Amino acid sequence: MTTRKLRVGVAGLGRMGKRHAINFHELTARADVVAASTPDESERVWAAENLKGVQIYADYDEMLEKTDLEAVVVASITAVHAEQTLKAITKGLHVLCEKPLSIDVEVAQSVVSAYEESLKTYPQQKVVCGFSRRFDASYREAYERITKDEFGSPVLFRSQTADLYDTSGFFVEYAKTSGGIFVDCSIHDIDLMLWFLGEDRKLKSLQAVGVAAVHPALEASHDRDNAIATVEFEGGKIAALYCSRMMAAGQEDTTEIICSKGSVRVNMQVRKNHVEIHDSLGARRELPQHYYERFREAFITEAYEFTACCLDNTSPPISLQSSVKAVGIGQALQRSLISGEKVFFDERATKN
């Protein structure tokens, strides 16, 4: 008996798009990548060499029009995430959109509204924003044990995303359309914060500060390469977020959830693997050099579970509305970062 496969199209074949394309094409047994699109000629050359049997398009709209798709993975630049997701929703396709849905919370909310309307016509449609850390085995274990009340109620959440220092200046150009360090770099930590402290929990206040330490040109885009934020929620919950783009040793993504009867830490002793080097320089271990090296297995799990929920008509693994809230918090932190002002929220969690 042949298992039916989900017919998938991939939009965008940059670094992340390539990874999604390979994961769905080669590592997800129930998925079949039948098309991919990118306006970049060099990426289309890569696709021709690495995605055998896949129809390659220069234009996203043409791919949607000419290919018999069931699902689309949107991995293009952030600036077109919402636009491409909306077009796929309108056609009744399932969508896995790379984070964030948009750099603007109102645009992100419009995606949710369009999806809710589309469900009236396509009740089995699934739309997911791909927050990869929710698919990581260590974060899932931490979440499951906390929800079982092994450590009491979570009180303080602290998390960081710290990228390897990029001497090419890539982030200076990227910052022009990324939405800023909190909407881009810290968005995973914000999503985890909502996951562990409660997606429906109301905000009380937030504040952020930052510096452009190694990429001063970021200031022209109202961005920074290092920033710290504090977030206060109703019910006595607080969070501290740290993000950096200048780590010398490698990627350092860590989280701690401090509860009333203990704490849970994920990846606080960052390591590439379990190899330790002992020589005349001392004892040391290597670190992952980029985000995907740390979370490769999580991305593979994400592809598998997205495919399964589409084919089996089960609930999406992440709430789309929570993804909108993450954008809203990131956007508010970015405003605080630039203005230097603390942001307060009223009982309806709207900015004062």
Residue where a domain terminates, one of 102, 129, 156: 129
For residue 314, give the 3-state DSSP assignment. coil
Q: How many domains does the chain have?
A: 2
The average pLDDT across 193-207 equals 97
pLDDT digits (tens, 9 = 90+) for 266-314: 999 998 988 999 999 999 989 999 999 999 999 999 999 999 999 999 9
293, 251 contact by CB (below 8 A): yes
Q: Residue 32: pLDDT above 90?
A: yes
Q: Residue 347: pLDDT above 60?
A: no
> Do both 242 and 148 map to the same domain?
yes
> Do both 274 and 163 map to the same domain?
yes
Range of the domain at 114: 6-129
| CA 72 to the chain's CA centroid | 17
What secondary structure letter does DSSP report for 280? Answer: T
Query: At 303, which amino acid appears?
Result: A
Residue 192 CA to residue 79 CA, distance in Å, equals: 23
> Do both 97 and 238 map to the same domain?
no
Q: Which is nearest to 97 in space by CA: 296, 298, 291, 306?
A: 306
pLDDT digits (tens, 9 = 90+) for 138-156: 999 999 999 999 999 999 9
Tell me the DSSP string of 190-219. Answer: HHHHHHHH-TTPPEEEEEEEEE-SS-GGGG
What secondary structure letter does DSSP report for 185? Answer: T
> Do both 107 and 140 map to the same domain?
no
> Do both 249 and 285 map to the same domain?
yes
287's CB contacts (< 8 A; 6+ apart) are 249, 250, 251, 252, 270, 271, 272
> Do both 96 and 215 map to the same domain?
no
CATH number of the structural domain spanning residue 115? 3.40.50.720
pLDDT digits (tens, 9 = 90+) for 225-245: 999 999 999 999 999 999 999
329, 190 contact by CB (below 8 A): yes
Residue 181 CA to residue 226 CA, distance in Å, equals: 8
Inside any domain, residue 214: yes
> Do both 37 and 177 map to the same domain?
no
pLDDT digits (tens, 9 = 90+) for 320-329: 999 999 999 9
For residue 122, give the 3-state DSSP assignment. coil
Q: Mean of the per-residue pLDDT values for the chain?
A: 94
Residue 42 CA to residue 79 CA, distance in Å, equals: 20
> Do both 61 and 150 map to the same domain?
no
> Do both 287 and 192 map to the same domain?
yes
Inside any domain, residue 351: no
Residue 25 CA to residue 95 CA, distance in Å, equals: 16
Residue where a domain terminates, one of 108, 129, 150: 129
Residue where a domain terminates, one of 75, 107, 129: 129
Q: 15: phi > 0 → left, psi -120 to 50 → alpha, else beta; which? A: alpha
